[in-house]
Structure 1
Amino acid sequence: MGDAALVHAEIVGETARGGAHPREGWTVHPNLELAVPVARAVNPISGTNWEGIGVRPDVPCDADTALDRELALVAARLA
């Protein structure tokens, strides 16, 4: 489950798209917007981030079955 110091939740589902850099957008023309990254998220332990890579789930499964899968995991842990 990742770096123990940073674990706050178990992720169930598909790998995220990987949007780690906050951005600001400006309308250049009614049909054109400029989006510019204005910061960079950094993992304090690894020194890396997830931009373009995504966050890998702890329990990989299809998005449409993720809720049922998590509910089953919770029920099993509570049993």
Structure 2
Amino acid sequence: MIVGEPTRGAAHPRKGWTVHPHLEVTVPTGRAVNPVSGTNWEGTGVQPDIPCTAAESLDQAHALALARLAG
């Protein structure tokens, strides 16, 4: 179970090159693909099962764990 905020959605590994002291080029060098769906999470991120803010996520996960242990 994922608790918190959606991830940023960076599924493609990248390589960067400095072409000028004030300019860098970044190019995708690969692509992650889910073998079941044939898609990936680039640009959409991984969506949490229990959405909440990052600041609330530890307390929320802790409460869920305690509730599961209590039965």
TM-score bracket, normalised by the shorter chain, equals: over 0.9
* Structure 2 residue 7 is matched with structure 1 residue 13: no
Count of residue correspondences: 70
Take 1:11 and 1:23, find their aligned partners in 2: how far apart are those partners?
Answer: 26
TM-score normalised by the chain length of structure 2:
0.93
Where in structure 1 are there 5+ consecutive unaligned residues? 1-9
Specify which structure has the bigger relative contact order, considering alpha-carbon pairs within 8 angstroms and separated by 6 or more residues. Answer: 2
TM-score normalised by the chain length of structure 1:
0.84
Q: Cα RMSD (Å) of the superposition?
A: 0.7
Larger radius of gyration: 2
Percent of aligned positions with the same letter in both sequences? 67
4+ runs deviating over 4 angstroms: none
Take 2:61 and 2:23, find their aligned partners in 1: how far apart are those partners?
Answer: 41
